[in-house]
Structure 1
Amino acid sequence: MRLRRSRCLTCYWHQGLFVVHPYPHGTPTSLHPAAAEVLSAFGDWTTPGEAAKALDHLAPETVEDAVSALTDAGALLAEDGADADRDADIARRWAAWAPEAPFLHYAAQNDFLTDGVDAKPDSESAHELTPHDTDHLPAPAHMPPLFTGYPDAVRLPLPRRPADLRAPYETVLYSRRTHRDFSDDPVPVETLAALLSTVFGPVDFIDSGHGPLYRRTSPSGGSRQELDAYVGALDVTGVAPGWYHYNSLQHSLELLGEGFTRDEAVHLCAGQEWAGQAAFLVVLAARLERMSVKYRTPRCYRVCLLNAGHLGQTFALTATALGLGPAQTGAFNDTAVAERCTLDNTGHTPLYVVAAGHPHTDPREAPSPAALTDFREVRLYG
């Protein structure tokens, strides 16, 4: 029987163990680090005997045991098997984003299945790991605070005047567009305040059974509200250019760093010129402990990303209702953005950047409507 190394495979050290983690068909298994060398002999279809000859510096029984454990784990796949076909298909379809994106996607799947959690591997040289088993994690020393605050920062209380958000729902929904051209008109602080409070402010408080939590106008997994808002003000009337944290409990801006230029905005947003035209940027940053203190499975990092998307959509709709042009991007310089927001970029890390300003009356970057000629060379159906 000929075997090949899985194309969808990641190896790493975890809790002092060397782990071979094939995905999505395999099982993360701890092995002796020599297993990596054995895997290297199976870059293409090879019999165990041929691999043993190539690894003649290793004892035959070592190679045999490793091949057996790697096959059981799914790191070595049999020729003409269904797993091998699927492995090749996944590697092809995810090639542009490999290895990081497919590993994140598949390694965080099926966290909530419990079948086999208590099963013990027969081999003494291999140990089957169960990613959803979190018994090894230390109990949290304390519950994280519901709100983030910077008590030593100079703060600017924001106006509490209610915003006029009575525009018809269908008008707002169908008017929402991503803008890349903005006018030079500054955004009034009252408009910024209304936008921040509507999107990020608490709506009400609920009893979670383990203490109070709060809800916003957007969904949040478990009402953990792990996402904080950091504002880079460029052209807001009554707000000096700089970086601020939006304290949603106090409805204030806490000054983190003075000064913010349009060139810096472009740099932070990976060279995108439109970012320098916006009146302000808002960075959505995840305080991970708020989520992980309750949900201990890696899948919940994906929930953090979904929550950022929920807030981004509410931001876009609210900005539209207030007469602003919203924008959003996942392309930004993470380290520089984290530094500007005074985030440690470990437990408190940026996930998303949104922005707004007054839409330009004659946008140059807006796409033109698709015409008949545009459809001549496109397939609408598979």
Structure 2
Amino acid sequence: MNDSSQWIHQIRAWAHELGFSHIGVSGVDLSSAEPQFLQWLANGYHGDLHYMERHGLKRTRPAELVPGTVSVITARMPYLPRDTAPDWQERERARLSRPDEAVVSLYARGRDYHKVVRGRLQKLCDRIEELVGPFGHRVFSDSAPVLEKELASRSGQGWRGKHSLVLSRDAGSMFFLGEIYVDFALEPTEPVSAHCGTCTACIDVCPTQAIIAPGVVDARRCISYLTIENHGPIPEELRPLMGNHIYGCDDCQTICPWNKYAQTTEIPDFDERSPLVGRQLVDLFAWDEETFLKRTEGGPIRRINHERWLRNIAVALGNALREADDEQAQVLRAALQSRADHESPLVREHVAWALAQR
């Protein structure tokens, strides 16, 4: 084994101790990915994610983002909670048939992954320094202009599924990605072949038809974007399609056959926080701002403020109202009426829409 091979072997062992399930290595020449990325931007599929344009091609040129970068170490960290049941996909899909229940994306039910992944990548860097000596580096996890999925697929973490996420034969897609840009050379690991075949389950199941072509997502239609990244009104024509999703959406992942191999995490930080799982919409809609901040402390839901929290739940309440019997409709309408005169025009607009659903 040469030094690079020995180093990767040792880095993988340390990474497993830190909760990462797989380590890969990519080079820094991503020029072949630039045309597709630029076309995606030109089509406006990034919506209001203006930072995508502001950062230009730094996303596809690691050595411009972090001068001196020679190799990229990629990492995969599973996030399914430790007590996840074997039939978790069916259980999650069953939530969608209970209109009164709020559905929060699986990754968002524990601690904020940005801090957890980056913190553990930094610990890995400390160990690597023991091996190779002082080196220049920077760690990332969905935290800078990094073409994460491209780097992951090039380094053998998986292939790009038709939902655009990275898919692995032994881990599905239920994992976070992280990267370490380093200033020394490592031998790139081999990519893997795609195994989606003729399956189109993720495309077919998407409530808003946001997957407009295999591997191409129009963020402007994606429920995750609409409930998290979008700061303004949710387009009226998409509201009825959102069902009871109030933060993110896992539909394209819970339907994916490869996720029967999804791995559970060893990290307690990603365990579910009970106030967010299996809760009734009316209960969460009643949270005032102080309660919202307290209950979401340390979690990714803090990315949206209380105003957008209420906006998202109002849409879900409107969708539930359309299907409710008379008795339940009274409960839902009473909850919505309690916010009808909210100080935020954004909240008032979505409440009024919801009330008009019946």
Say which structure is richer in helix.
2
Give 1 or 2 for the bigger CA radius of gyration. 1
- TM-score for the superposition, normalised by structure 1: 0.22
Task: Using CA pairs under 8 Å that are at least 6 residues apart, name the structure with larger relative contact order, 1 or 2.
Answer: 2
Say which structure is richer in strand.
1
